[in-house]
Amino acid sequence: MAIKKIVKYGDDFLRQPSKEVHKVSKKVQDLIRDLLDTMYASNGVGLAAPQIGEHLRVFVIDTSTNDEPLNPIVFINPKIIKKSGAVVSHEGCLSFPEAYTDVRRYKNVMVKALDRHGKPFVLEAKDGSLLARAIQHEFDHLEGILFIDHVRNRFEADKVLMEHGLPPVEEDKLLDEAEMEEMLKEDGTVD
């Protein structure tokens, strides 16, 4: 379909929750194609509808590597139904060009969603895999949450954001993830 302009951090649009999809219409099919085209053109692993200016609960992910065939997964109206464990993830986001920092994520997630044809499916991603982290990252976009809201070190993140000409971390948006931080300590992942 088309490669769309990606909404950048600092735009309030990224902070608004998205609406449920009531029908997998032609408009939704076009949105899916635009998401995939834009994600691949930007060398991304995932992209959510709000990142291209649509407040609909849709995101796409493809964790295939260079030597593997493309394997896009479409999520419509996703719900994370199970999560456990914790992992530190070094993440970036297409809405934050070139800026990466450490965030907390659940190690294992199970998500229920509709596929591009409106058929329900359940997918489990484990062991802090790229897929597990990407599901959480893209799901957050639908809630108006950004990856830097999960940041482990706000000051380090502010430095990275500043180096890339982006606004600082929004302190009032930081998530209290004491339970996840405790899991990381118990695992010996962090001191």
**Residues that are catalytic:** 138
Residues near 176 by beta carbon (within 8 Å), at least 6 away in sequence: none
Helices vs. strands in the chain: H and E counts, helices first = 4, 7
Token pair of 84, please? Answer: 């456990």
Residues near 19 by beta carbon (within 8 Å), at least 6 away in sequence: 55, 56, 57
Is 86 within 8 Å of 184 (Cβ atoms)? yes
Q: 135 by DSSP, 3-state: which?
A: helix
Helix spans in the chain (H): 26-41, 130-143, 154-163, 178-187
CA dihedral 36, 8, 16, 152 (to 10 degrees): 100
Residues near 126 by beta carbon (within 8 Å), at least 6 away in sequence: 107, 108, 132
Q: Which amino acid is at 56?
A: L
